[in-house]
């Protein structure tokens, strides 16, 4: 079965998939990209080796149940060849997916999961710019209404209009070892509060660029296995307070840094090597892909204050917290104004209840049986082991 470090880690809220790769619904073959749909409580996963995207329920009252899937292997519109990363564009109700080995980006309806368009294709006149070559990471710049794509083989970031997909400009890496050289972008994330782009280069550095024009600001990281050292940095996301979370692949861990690049903490993944990482700002969840599985770390279970209650988030609270606060409010209205209970604000109640375990609900036997069956289903796929030589800058699968 392999290492069970993550299975024994109490900080993991849920795990999806099986240790061995599979093609059934809810199973993966080297999943890469992740994205939370905060409006629908969904988690979307780029099931790279199976050339499809799978969608899972990720609300407070469920455990990562399979919802739907779309895509199949091929090079026609609506087909994939190693989908790598995805980003959700809520303003236009769509999902943007980098179709790595088809050298393009595809756009799918978020609500209907139907193909909308296929842009940046080899040999296609749909956009007027140089062709993409092995695109990896993708992010949406909501401030300037742009799409930013890690065009890995061309060693550049490419900026497109979020409105019509037209090419805007690109930032090309340069040969050398200086901080602003050798970009080779793999993962891309945006710190909207500080107007910055965070880029992993698939090696051992993280670069921080200006969101306005892509100019170099600073970088951090070096090769190694100590804190703040990286070995094949891939996925990246931004959590609360601008903290940067990096999938440190060959070191089999996640690393968290301050917005200034100072190391905060590491999350051990055992022998499962993390590729992608995503953050759900509404509930403070951190999801990552490792091996042939997707894991979700519970709010505040690894990094403090990944989830903090704010008045605008109260409507997203689990139903049991809403009922508890409502009951407390009713009791408080009946007691004397001078009592301690009458002086507890609702904001504090939400904060207190958010740190408590949700009450266990009895699971119907038939539903329990289905869940157990889905968990143990596995295919006979042979697992490949890591540490293959990756000296060339190619978009090969790990």
Domain boundaries, the chain: 5-304, 319-354
- Per-residue pLDDT of the chain (398 residues), as tens digits, is 446 789 999 999 999 999 899 999 999 999 999 999 988 889 999 999 999 999 999 876 667 899 999 999 999 999 999 999 999 999 999 999 999 999 999 999 998 888 988 775 443 433 334 579 999 999 999 999 999 999 999 999 999 999 888 899 999 876 555 555 666 899 999 999 999 999 998 889 999 999 999 999 999 999 999 999 999 999 999 999 999 999 999 999 999 999 999 999 999 999 999 999 999 988 899 999 999 999 999 989 999 888 776 666 666 677 777 777 777 777 766 665 555 555 566 666 666 676 666 665 544 444 444 444 444 344 444 444 444 444 443 333 33
Instruction: Enter the CATH code of domain 5-304.
Output: 2.120.10.30
What is the token pair recorded at 149?
């794509």
* DSSP letter (8 states) at residue 318: -
Burial class (CB in 10 A: 0-12, 13-18, 19+), 161: middle
What is the token pair recorded at 92?
């236009």
pLDDT of 346: 66
Q: Give buried/exposed letters for 325-362 (b at 16+ CB in 10 A, else e).
A: beebeeebeeeeeeeeeeeeeeeebbeebbeeeeeeee
């Amino acid at each position: 079965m392999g290492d069970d470090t993550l299975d024994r880690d109490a900080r993991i809220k849920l795990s999806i998939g099986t240790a061995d790769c599979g093609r059934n619904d809810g199973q993966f073959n080297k999943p890469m990209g992740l994205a939370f749909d905060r409006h629908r409580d969904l988690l979307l996963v780029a099931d790279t080796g199976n050339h499809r995207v799978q969608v899972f329920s990720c609300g407070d009252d469920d455990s990562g149940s399979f919802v739907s899937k779309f895509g199949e292997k091929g090079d026609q519109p609506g087909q994939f060849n190693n989908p790598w990363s995805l980003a959700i564009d809520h303003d236009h109700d769509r999902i943007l997916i980098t179709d790595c080995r088809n050298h393009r980006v595809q756009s799918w309806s978020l609500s209907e999961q139907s193909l909308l368009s296929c842009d940046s294709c080899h040999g296609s006149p749909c956009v007027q710019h140089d062709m993409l070559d092995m695109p990896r990471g993708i992010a949406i710049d909501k401030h300037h209404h742009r799409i930013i794509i890690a065009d890995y083989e061309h060693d550049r970031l490419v900026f497109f209009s979020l409105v019509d997909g037209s090419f805007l400009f690109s930032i090309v890496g340069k040969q050398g070892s200086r901080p602003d050289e050798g970009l080779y972008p793999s993962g891309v994330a945006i710190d909207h509060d500080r107007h910055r782009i965070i880029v992993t280069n698939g090696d051992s550095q993280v670069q921080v660029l200006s969101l306005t024009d892509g100019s170099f600001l600073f970088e951090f990281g070096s090769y190694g296995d100590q804190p703040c050292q990286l070995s094949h940095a891939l996925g990246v996301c931004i959590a609360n307070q601008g903290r940067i979370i990096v999938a440190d692949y060959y070191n089999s861990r996640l690393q968290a840094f301050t917005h200034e690049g100072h190391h905060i903490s590491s999350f051990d993944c055992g022998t499962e090597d993390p590729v992608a990482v995503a953050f759900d700002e509404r509930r403070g969840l951190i999801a990552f892909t490792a091996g042939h599985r997707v894991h979700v770390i519970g709010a505040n279970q690894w990094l403090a204050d990944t989830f903090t209650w704010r008045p605008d988030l109260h409507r997203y609270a689990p139903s049991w917290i809403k009922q508890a606060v409502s009951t407390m409010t009713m009791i408080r209205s009946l007691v004397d104004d001078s009592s301690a209970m009458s002086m507890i604000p609702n904001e504090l109640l939400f904060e207190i209840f958010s740190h408590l375990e949700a009450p266990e609900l009895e699971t119907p036997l038939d539903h329990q049986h289905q869940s157990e069956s889905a968990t143990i289903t596995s295919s006979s796929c042979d697992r490949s082991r890591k540490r293959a030589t990756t000296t060339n800058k190619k978009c090969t699968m790990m």
